[in-house]
A = this chain, B = another copy of it.
Amino acid sequence: MLKPKKNDLKKISLDIIEAQYALKNSRGKTNARALLVLIGGVEFSGKGQAIHQLRELMDPRYLYIKADIPQKYDQYQPFWLPYIADLPSYGQIMLFYGNWYTDLLASQFSNQQNYSEKQLSGMLLQISDFEQYLKNHGIDIIKVWFDISWEYCQEFVNDLNITKVLHKVPHFAWDNFPTTQWLNKHLFKEIDHIRKKFTADWIVINSEQPELRNYQFSQIILKALKAPIEIEHKSSSFDYQSAELYPELLFSSQEKMQKKHYQCLLKKLQKEIAEVLRYDSRKIILLFEGVDAAGKGGIIKRIIKYVSPYEYNIHCIAKPEDHEKHYPYLWRFYNKLSKKSAIHIFDRSWYGRVLVERVEELIEAQDWQSSFKEINQFEKILTDNNTVIIKFWLMISKEEQLKRFEMRENTPQKKFKITAEDWRNREKWDDYIQAASDMFFYTSTSYAPWHIIATDDKYTARIKILTRILLSLKQE
């Protein structure tokens, strides 16, 4: 390939701008998509210069760049958490100059942490699942590695006053990154060795000729802006069959508990749960789904009774906000989990995808069918990273629901709890039972099992749930 001439740059600038606007205009349409560019490469490979040239060729107002200093992985959170708020929404092109791969390298080299082959491939598998999820939902990803040789690198180093660079960097925090990669041939080679474990599906640019490197990078971006996304074939990846109906959903429970007995047990359990939650260093997700009026609000109220608001965050999930619709459906949940709280209580959750969105036919059948696997992957990565997920389905009989609906309508301060939507959902009772059965069948995993609780008798139900939470927390 030859050096680009001035006219080549003019030409590619025009093409990129056109492609950029086509992407931008896809926002809000059915073919809406986004482009995420992950950048990698050692120091002096000219990544920054290539980005600067790209900015000059594009309309820079619509080129988004996130450039965080690489950080060591935090074992208490999934690798995507620091990046989630900045994922591109549909219509955007976003460059992650620092990203989960640079974090991986920082982790591997900063403290001689040295992941084993097995750990490394486990992490890469998680990354691959996550990236495939984004692709399947309209965010295309390309990954570009800027490659230089040790000898080329040394030419730069010789021009620098190394001591100065090493000692005078206050806010450009090198601490977490192999700063001496260009001083130490062994380290340089080692980085190259590790990066080759994940760059098989990357585009590698030989970066020793700056002008050519920059031009090639622009060509890659242009191609990516124009290319269709590789979406995993959903139908072939998963053969959906509807599950048997779960008997717990069909028969109402006859258990009863005396009020006095309940009150005594309740207080004891509430105090115990507050203490256990406080001294558990993991992130804890308590998730509640169930038929309308089955008592989600009531049990949540009782769980938090002696817990300080500092410790928990309650997420009441309704339909997404307008700006949340410009992202893959799990995005808003990723984002909520980035809150610092240790305890996240979900009053409804991401399972809306396979419940209301399925039953109300808000999405195509293949979309909710493929969600089972996606949700399992999502929960797996959370539980692999020091998180406990305890999922409850609250169930009442159809007769009991009618009673509660009527009670709500006749109690002024509870009337807001009952809407026309609840009555409509009730008409689709059987559809919800089928959807719930499928959900249990496909998403009750060893790491995040479902617990089905009959709540006809509220006292029995609450004691069961509190006991179950304690058990699950102590078990692991």
Asked if A309 contacts B67 (CB within 8 A), the reply is: yes
Asked if B412 contacts A308 (CB within 8 A), the reply is: no
Contact of A60 among B170, B278, B297 (CB under 8 A): B297
Shortest A37–chain B CB gap in Å is 12
Task: Please tell me the number of chain A residues within 8 Å of chain B, measured between CB atoms.
Answer: 54
Q: Give A437-454 interface residues, CB cut-off 8 Å to B.
A: none
A13 part of interface (Cβ distance < 8 Å)? yes
Asked if A301 contacts B56 (CB within 8 A), the reply is: yes
Binds B, one of A225-233, A314-322, A391-399: A314-322
A456 to B62: give the CA distance in the assembly, Å: 27
A93 to B278: give the CA distance in the assembly, Å: 27
Shortest A316–chain B CB gap in Å is 4
Which residue from chain B places its CB closest to the CB of A65 in the assembled complex?
B309
A268 part of interface (Cβ distance < 8 Å)? no
Which residue from chain B places its CB closest to the CB of A310 in the assembled complex?
B67
Which residue from chain B places its CB closest to the CB of A348 in the assembled complex?
B61
Shortest A16–chain B CB gap in Å is 9
Chain B positions within 8 Å of A61 at CB level: 316, 318, 347
A472 part of interface (Cβ distance < 8 Å)? no
Chain B positions within 8 Å of A305 at CB level: 52
A168 part of interface (Cβ distance < 8 Å)? yes
Chain B positions within 8 Å of A413 at CB level: 10, 13-14, 17, 57
Supposing A52-B304, A305-B52, A323-B322 touch, asked if A412 and B10 sit within 8 A by C-beta, the answer is yes
A98 part of interface (Cβ distance < 8 Å)? yes
Asked if B310 contacts A68 (CB within 8 A), the reply is: yes
A424 part of interface (Cβ distance < 8 Å)? no
A340 part of interface (Cβ distance < 8 Å)? yes
Q: Give A48-95 interface residues, CB cut-off 8 Å to B.
A: 48, 51-52, 55-57, 59-61, 65, 67-69
Interface string of A9-41 (1 = CB under 8 A from B): 010011001000100000000000000000000
Asked if B172 contacts A310 (CB within 8 A), the reply is: yes
Which residue from chain B places its CB closest to the CB of A412 in the assembled complex?
B14
A366 part of interface (Cβ distance < 8 Å)? no
A342 part of interface (Cβ distance < 8 Å)? yes
Q: Give A158-192 interface residues, CB cut-off 8 Å to B.
A: 168-172
Interface string of A118-133 (1 = CB under 8 A from B): 0000000000000000
Asked if A51 contacts B309 (CB within 8 A), the reply is: yes
A18 to B326: give the CA distance in the assembly, Å: 32
Contact of A322 among B51, B169, B322 (CB under 8 A): B322
Which residue from chain B places its CB closest to the CB of A61 in the assembled complex?
B316
A109 part of interface (Cβ distance < 8 Å)? no
Supposing A60-B314, A65-B309, A309-B67 touch, asked if A52 and B301 sit within 8 A by C-beta, the answer is yes
Chain B positions within 8 Å of A98 at CB level: 310
A279 to B170: give the CA distance in the assembly, Å: 6
A98 to B341: give the CA distance in the assembly, Å: 12
Chain B positions within 8 Å of A342 at CB level: 171-172
Which residue from chain B places its CB closest to the CB of A282 in the assembled complex?
B171
Shortest A54–chain B CB gap in Å is 11
- Beyond A13-B413, A169-B278, list 4 extra A-B contacts (CB 8 Å): A52-B305, A69-B310, A97-B310, A168-B279
Q: A: which residues have CB within 8 A of B?
A: 10, 13-14, 17, 21, 47-48, 51-52, 55-57, 59-61, 65, 67-69, 97-98, 168-172, 278-279, 281, 297, 301, 304-305, 307-314, 316, 318, 321-323, 340-342, 347, 412-413, 416-417
